[in-house]
Amino acid sequence: MSRVTIVPEEDRLTTQIAFAVEIDKLKRIIRRNLLIDGSRRENDAEHSWYAATLAMVLGEHAPPGTDVQHVIAMLLVHDLVEIDAGDTFIYDPVAVAEQAEAERAAADRIFAILPAEQGARLRALWDEFEARETDEARFAKAIDRFAPILANHHTEGGTWPLFKVTAAQVREKVRVIAEGSPSLGAYARELVESSVANGHLPE
């Protein structure tokens, strides 16, 4: 980059490109769940695309008045902290507790690469997603939780038998989905009960 001339009006762009280079690393963060064809485990970047696109497609199942564009923006950045903090398996309560501090530190570092007010704006999207207090955040979280259930349903239980997850644990995640979208929650419940009936998810 030594030949790139820095002039004042280009400072913001240079900083934003440094952020772009940094977040490319999300493609190397591997999640537990498999692709729907079962061929391999998913990475955070392709999961983030999938979640954002599902929000666009399923937006009508969010509560009336939900700003779907805002949900999409949240989902595009919701896993960036995992560049430093790594992926946490949501059925491991100890890891989830330890993870919170690591993710805050990651957010402090990664969003600070951007121009200050822009970094604060993107950081606020992540904070909102984590707090799950707005309709937008609850719907975003519903999509985030729905995607691996869909994948597991299509791969004979996928990560459920592999990591000894029980139906009771998955039903708790279904409640989180229903809080963001009642109809998506009902659909997820059918998928889960179908997986239990098929022997792909133990009680």
Q: What is the distance between the alpha carbons of residues 101 and 45, in angstroms, rounded to a whole number?
A: 22
Binding status of residue 60 toward a second copy by CB under 8 A: yes
Among 31, 32, 62, 72, binds a second copy (CB under 8 A): 72
Report the SS3 class of residue 32.
strand
Report CA-CA distances (Å) from 45 to 26, 48, 83, 146: 5, 5, 10, 17
Taking the least distance from each CB to a second copy, the nearer of 23 and 102 is 23
Q: What is the distance between the alpha carbons of residues 36 and 203, in angstroms, rounded to a whole number?
A: 23
Choose the binding region for a second copy from 22-30, 90-98, 102-110, 171-179 (rule: CB under 8 A): 22-30
Helix, strand, coil: what percent of the chain each, to 5? 70, 5, 25
Among 32, 33, 58, 144, binds a second copy (CB under 8 A): 58
Taking the least distance from each CB to a second copy, the nearer of 67 and 92 is 67
Q: Which of 81, 87, 79 is nearest to 110 (CA)?
A: 81
Binding status of residue 112 toward a second copy by CB under 8 A: no
Helix and strand numbers, DSSP H then E, in the chain: 10, 2
Residues near a second copy, by CB under 8 A = 1-5, 9-10, 12-14, 16-17, 19-21, 23-28, 35-37, 39, 42-43, 45-46, 48-50, 52-54, 56-58, 60-61, 69, 72-73, 76-77, 114, 118, 122, 150-151, 154, 183-184, 186-187, 190-191, 193-194, 197
